[in-house]
Structure 1
Amino acid sequence: MAGNKNPWGNAGKGDEPGVDGPSADRGSGGDGGGPRNPWLPSGGGEPGKRRSASIEDIFKGRGPEGPRRSGGGGPGGPTFRLPERPGGKSWVPVIVGGVAALWLAVSSVHFIQPGEQAIVTWLGGKYSTTLDSGTNWTAPWPIQMVEKENVTQIRSEEIPGTNTEKLILTSDQNLVDLSYLIRWNISDLALYKYQLNDPRNALLEIGEAAMRAAVARRGLDTVLTGEGRAEIEQDVNQRMQARLDAYRSGITVQGIEINKVDPPGRVEEAFKDVSSAQQDADAAINRSRAVAQQQLARAQGDASEFNNIYEEYRLAPEVTRRRLYYETMESVLSKTDKTIVESGNVTPYLPLPELQRRSQSAAQPARPQGE
C-alpha cells in the first residue's frame, strides 16, 4: 500500500518500497531520512553502540536504558527491586559474604560423636589425618573431605549364610556341617580404610581358612562335644588375629561362636544310627566297668583280711590255727543235721535237728480254726 510506512525507515523518493534509497543513512538512528536500526535505543546515544546492563541494573529491575517492565509487559507493571543500604550502596556484597561465611561454617566444623572417628582427605583423595570424637576443624569442602565411621561397634559376620551348608573335613576323614559367627570391630580406622582393598571380604576369607585348619586337626567326636567346640573357637580366634595383624588390616576379632555342628544332610539318618550304636556301646562299657570295680573291691577286701590273719598267725601260730579250725567247723556244721553220740557202753541219742524243729513249732502262735 502506498500509504504504509516502512518499519525500517522511510524509503527515498522514487525507490522501491522496502528498499533504502541511495541517500539513506544506514548507520544512524536519527531522523535523517534513512532506515532506523531496531537494535539501537530510540533516544540519544552514540550511533551504532548499545550499552550493556550492569549487575546493579539487573537487581534493581531495570535495563541499560531505563526500568524494565514486568507483570505481562504492560506499562506501569510491578518491578522487583532490592532495598538500598544506607548511603545508596548495594546489598549484593553483603549477601555474597554471608553465603561464603555459612559455607565455611558448615564445611569446616565437624562434630564427631562418642565412639566414632573420622578420616580427613585432601581434594585428590590423599589421606590427611584421623579425627577423634568431639568438635574438630578442617579446611572447607572441597579442599578437605571428612568421612565418619563407628569404631566401637561390634559387628557380626555369619558363615555361612542362612539355609546354606558348609562342609568341613575332620582329621578322621568325616564331614561336618558347621556354621559359626565372627564378632569384630575396627581398631585402626586409617589402616581399615586404606591398607586392604576389601577388609570385610578379607576377614571372611581368613575366618574360613582358620576354621578349616582348626577342625582338620581334631576328630569328629571332639568336634561334636562342647569342650571340643570351645577349643576350636579359641584356636580360630588366635589364628585369625595373627593373620589380620600381619596384613595390618586395622581389625580386632572379638570372638568366635560356633552355632551348629551337624552331619551332612544326605547321611544324617545313618549318622543317627551310628550315634545310637555308639551310645549303646558306651552304656555296656560303663556297666562292665562298674562290675569290674565291684569285683576288684571285693578281692582287695579279701586280700586285706588274709593279710591281717597272716599277721596274727605269725604272732601265735597254734592259737590262730585252732581259731581257724573252730570257725571253719562252725560254718560247715551250722548248715547240716547233727546227731551227737557219746562213746562207751551206753549210747545216748540226742536228735538235735528234731528238737530244733519242735522248738520252732512251739514258738509259733496257734492259728484260729477256720483259717
Structure 2
Amino acid sequence: MNKIYIITLLTHLCIGICDAQVNTPNGVAVPPSALFVYPNSGNYTNAQLQADQNAIQNGLYGPSCIILANYSRQYNCHGYAWHVSTGGAQICIDQALGGITPYVAGVNPSYTQTNYNSTIGKLRVRYSIDHSAVTTYDGKFISKWGPGPLVKHSALDVPPGYGNPSTCWTCNYVPPLTSVYLDGKLISGSFQNTTWGSHNMQIFWGLDPDTGPTFSSTAGSTIINNQNSGTVNFTFNGPSNNGGLSIAFCGAPRHSFTFFKPSGAKMQVYPNPAEDEDVITILSEAPEDIQAVNLDNQVNRIKKISLLDDRQRVLQDYLPNAEGNMTTVKLNAGLKGTYYLKAAFEDGTVQTKRVLIEK
C-alpha cells in the first residue's frame, strides 16, 4: 500500500494551476503561482485515496487519528489551516511558492506568531517540513492530509514527510459585520433606540472568526443566552437609560452596540397659555397636569420640576406632588411672559416645556 506521506511528497509533481484569485482575511492577494488544484486522475485515484484513508483510520500513523471528513481534492493542509476555516472557498495553497507568506508576513498580516497552548483552540501550526494544522481546545490538532481526509490527531501522529510542529500563529484580523438584526429588524449603526426588557440580537459577519464571536454586556444590559453562534439574547434593564453589548472576535473587542431607551415622557402643561392673571395652578384632578408615561405604559415619574425664565435661568425648584400618574405643582403669582418648566424624570431623562403667561 502506498503511504499517504509518499503521496503528499509527490504533490508538486501532480498538480494543475488554479486560476482563482485568493485573498487573505485582511485582503492581501496570495500569489497565483502558489495556488493549485489536484487532478481527478493520475496517482490520486479514488480507490487509492480511500485505501489510504482506511489505513489512517486503522492507526497507520498513530492511535489518535480520527477521520473528520473524507478525502477531497478541493483543498489541502495549507488551504484548510490558513484559508478555508476563515470562510474562503476551498483551495489548495503551496507553501514552497510563498502561499502562506501573505497570511503571516508583509504589510497587513492576518496572523501573528504566538506560543502554543494546549487549551487554546484555532491556533495555526506550521510544521518543520511542509504541513499546516489548526489546534483544538482539547490539545489535539486538525489538519488536511494532502488530497486525503481531514484528520483530528495528536501533534506527532502525522506522516513522517510533514516534520514536527514548528511555530504557532493566532488570528489578527477583523471579520466585517455584514448585517445586524435587533428583534428581527435590520439595524445600522452602533447606537439604537429600544425599550426595557428582553431582546434578541442576530449578528452576521463576513468571515468565520476563530474564537468568536463572544458577547459581553455593558452597564445596563444582562446576557441571558450566548451560544457564540451569532445570536445573543439579553435584557436591557438599567440602571441608567442606556446599556449595550460588546462583541469580540479572536479575543479582542471589535464592535459595540449601545441601546438607549426612549423616555416616552409625555409632558403636558395646562393651561398654556395661562390667562389666570398672575397665577398658574395645576391640579391633580384636572387636565392641567404634567404627566410622564413611558412606551411600556409604565409611569415614568417626575423627580423634580424647575421653573426657568426666558434666558433659561432657574427661578424656583419644586418637589412634585404626585398621586398615581399625576404630578402637580403650583406656580407663584406675579409672573408674566415666557417661562419654561423643566422636568427631570426617574429614568434620568429631562424635558422642557415652554409656558406663556398672559394677563
Q: With structure 1 as the length reference, what TM-score do the two structures score?
A: 0.23
Larger Rg: 1
Greater RCO structure (CA 8 Å; 6+ sep): 2
Q: TM-score, normalised by structure 2?
A: 0.23
More strand by share: 2
